[in-house]
Amino acid sequence: MDIVYIKDLRVAAGIGIYDWEKAIKQQVRIDLEMAWDNSVPAASDCIDDALNYKLTAQKVIELVESQHHDLVERLAEDIAAMLMNEMKVPWLRLTVGKPGAVKQSKEVGVSIERGTR
């Protein structure tokens, strides 16, 4: 299976467990790797056969911006479920990072892998 990827997608998110975090937006950083058979769109040269990364990014952004998540773990699971259900992605690896969450670190977060390749 081939991989379609989106790297370093940055989205303003309602995320965090503290009251002050529930009142603001914080940037999260998302990396996605998604399994897709690229031989079909390569042969047809038609976007309808491809995993449309622009539409995929828009759907991820809409999901992240639409609701507050306390934990990055929950946000990652929600993104994965949406992509597998709506975009029919059979397998994905997803990293959600929260820059600045720990002072001595550039970023903290989670990486998950779902589905079968």
Catalytic residue, chosen from 7, 22, 88, 98, is 98
98 is catalytic: yes
Q: 60 burial class (0-12, 13-18, 19+ CB within 10 angstroms)?
A: buried
* Separation of alpha carbons 117 and 103, rounded Å: 37
* Alpha-carbon gap, residue 43 to 56, rounded angstroms: 21
Q: What are phi and psi of 52, to 5 degrees?
A: -70, 105
Residues catalogued as catalytic = 98
